[in-house]
Amino acid sequence: MTDTIDFDRYDRIRPIRWTGDALELLDQRKLPFEVEYVVCDTSEAVADAIQALTVRGAPAIGIAAAWGVVLAARDIEAADGAEAAARLDPAIAHLNAARPTAVNLAWALARMRRALAAAGSDWRDVLEHEARAIADEDLAANRRMGALGAALIEPGSNVMTHCNTGSLATAGFGTALGVIRAGVAQGRIDEVFAGETRPWLQGARLTVWELQQDGITPTLIADAAASHLMKSGKVQWVVVGADRICANGDVANKIGTYQLAIAARHHGVKFMVAAPSSTVDMDTASGDLIHIEERDPGELFGIGGTRTAAADIGAWNPVFDITPHELIDAIVTERGVIENPDAAAMREAFGA
Ligand code: MRU
């Protein structure tokens, strides 16, 4: 076992690239079959890309939206930051409406607006600097939380994860997948099980591909196999990311996370949530108050454009769920580890 992590060896993918003129987004609808960047040169194009899941994952959509504000700023003239902020409000609101559940989107946009409102005549430079800082801080947070989370995992463990929480979902390295990368790099984790994550297959298409780029070969399981896997004693930890962490420690994450937490508790498997502090929403008291995104039922009718469901049916497609804090053993952010999270522990870590 080693404590060091070779970040370059384990972190090669960048889903968001700012060229100086435009935003390039690795098209996550096409992976792993095509590795292709989509060019966005307007904030509307960025909002559409967020809505369409071209770019996805809580931190990544916040970063993309921040660059969307930089693009929107090209269409306006203003003497100072306060005037620019007022003129950019419609574009900011449009970006904010692209997806409702991950708080990182609203967080990044609020941060961009705050920086702008305080800026003078150099407000264009301030905006660009802030967008870059949001991305850089996310990468640093992921590396830090990777080390913190991995330290909780006993050498010789196997882990299971859900959805995609890696470089593709962040500025780089990943949240839960960062913990897993760090755990593998340190020799703590032997085997990684990845759930498919129906209906959009973030696990089967994205997580598996991403780990392969690092030379890590995960074992894919059907989502429905998770309880059976846990019962078999083959995994010691479930490690997932988050789209929003409430003031009482409740966690919104990809649909299916809640049932993993229930199964984990039943089978004595530990459950870890890894997310940057930008995912913490101390203004939302509990998970019941979170707006859960519901997407087009058509996403459930087939796979890869081939219809698999019977014709003329309805479907319900909530894409996130809430895991109550009582089922979580540890929340890991770049600020530290919160064991057995509840309102008091969250307050102590993040203030009121
Ligand atoms: O619908 P998605 O693919 O954007 O959902 C992503 C997730 O639920 C992730 O687990 C979460 O955003 C954490 S990503 C570091």
DSSP 145: H
Per-residue model confidence (pLDDT) at position 271: 99
Between CA 223 and CA 201 the distance in angstroms is 10
Q: Whose CA is nearest to atom 15 of ligand 1?
A: 165
Per-residue model confidence (pLDDT) at position 74: 97
Interval 100-117: pLDDT, tens: 999 999 999 999 999 999
231 is in an annotated binding site: no
214 is catalytic: no
Q: What is the mean pLDDT of each run of 10 residues along the chain (352 residues)?
A: 77 93 97 97 98 98 98 97 98 98 98 98 98 98 97 98 98 97 96 97 98 94 98 98 98 98 98 98 98 96 92 96 98 98 98 84
Between CA 148 and CA 337 the distance in angstroms is 7
Pocket of ligand 1 (CB under 6 A): 56-59, 102, 163, 165, 169-170, 175, 202, 241-243, 253-254, 319
Atom number of ligand 1 nearest to Cα 166:
15
Among the options 11, 243, 250, 321, which is catalytic? 243
CA 226 – ligand 1 centroid, Å: 19
Between CA 350 and CA 331 the distance in angstroms is 12
Whole-prediction pTM value?
0.97
Atom number of ligand 1 nearest to Cα 200:
3
Per-residue model confidence (pLDDT) at position 43: 98
CA 320 – ligand 1 centroid, Å: 9
CA 163 – ligand 1 centroid, Å: 7
58 is in an annotated binding site: yes
Per-residue model confidence (pLDDT) at position 20: 95
Any idea what the Cα angle at residue 223 is, between residues 148 and 167, rounded to 5°? 40
Per-residue model confidence (pLDDT) at position 240: 99
Q: Which helix (H) or strand (E) holds 220?
A: strand 219-221
